[in-house]
Amino acid sequence: MASAKKKQVDRKSKAQPAKVAKPPKAKAAAHAKPKKPAKAAPAKAAPAKAAPAKAAPAKAAPAKASGGKAGPAVGAKAPSFSLSDQAGKTVSSASLAGAPYVLYFYPKDNTTGCTKEACDFRDSFRGFGQKKARLLGVSPDSEASHAGFAKKYGLPFTLLADPDKVLAKAYGVWAKKLNYGREYMGIVRSTFVVDGKGVIQKAWRGVKVNGHVDAVLDAVRALS
């Protein structure tokens, strides 16, 4: 009997599989606090590139004259002429002999600079008359253009029409000009004071309008 029970016990122990021990849970993992995600460093803004400095627009240079026939110098005999005025009457250098006269060349009627110059001569007209000096403006414009110009601005002096630039060339004021990069032939604004003997006593070439008439009047007053 005892041996039979022993055999049954041995059979039971063989039939039951051995229990596998579970590995102990790591305490460190259970108690470990979750790590906070690292904050990303703010991206540094790239330094703004400085805009290239804009170049200032170049100022246009005033018209320059070159070329053309050289005119008479101070002390030389004034070129003779015979031209029509704004009324269609002929005016000649011979008819002016014995008294001083002022001959001023300008580019064109009714333009800004030419109008200002003409009006400045108009405003000082009495001063020239006191010295018995004849005042004559000259441009390539027609007689009709001169007539309208004189009427519009009340010009009391003579305007000579020189459409063929005969007198302008004789005085050397018809020349090549450069303006805004463009070359062309034109009148170089100029003034000449001629005495009663027909001799040039004073000359201005490339005239700047402001203050010019005062200088011309001073020169006329200085004539003996």
CB atoms within 10 A of CB 92: 11
Q: Evaluate if residue 27 carries a pLDDT over 90.
A: no
Going along the chain from its start, the domains and CATH numbers come out as 64-221 (3.40.30.10)
Give the mean model confidence (pLDDT) for residues 146-169: 98
Confidence at residue 67, expressed as pLDDT on a 0 to 100 scale: 54
Confidence at residue 26, expressed as pLDDT on a 0 to 100 scale: 46
Which among 146, 55, 54 has a CA at the least distance from the CA of 109? 146
Residue 25 to residues 17, 20, 32, 123, 146, Cα–Cα distance (Å):
24, 15, 13, 117, 119
Q: Evaluate if residue 19 carries a pLDDT over 80.
A: no
Maximum Cα–Cα distance across the chain: 181
Q: Evaluate if residue 9 carries a pLDDT over 90.
A: no
Confidence at residue 25, expressed as pLDDT on a 0 to 100 scale: 52
Helix (H), strand (E) at residue 193: strand 190-194
Q: What is the DSSP letter of 38?
A: P
Confidence at residue 46, expressed as pLDDT on a 0 to 100 scale: 53
CA gap 140, 43 in Å, rounded: 74
Average pLDDT, rounded, for the chain: 82
Give the mean model confidence (pLDDT) for residues 165-194: 94
pLDDT-derived band at 38 (thresholds 50, 70, 90) equals low
Tokens found for residue 87: 């009324």
Condensed to tens digits (0 to 9), the pLDDT of residues 95-117 reads 999 999 999 999 999 999 999 99
Q: Evaluate if residue 48 carries a pLDDT over 80.
A: no
Condensed to tens digits (0 to 9), the pLDDT of residues 182-212 reads 899 999 999 999 999 999 999 999 999 999 9
Give the mean model confidence (pLDDT) for residues 32-40: 52
Give the mean model confidence (pLDDT) for residues 120-147: 97
Contact (CB, 8 A) for 187 and 177: no
Contact (CB, 8 A) for 179 and 66: no
The residues annotated with a catalytic role in the active site are 114
| Burial 69-85, CB ≥16 within 10 A → b, else e | eebbeeeeebbebebbb
Q: Evaluate if residue 130 carries a pLDDT over 90.
A: yes
From the CA atom positions of the chain, what is the Rg in Å? 52
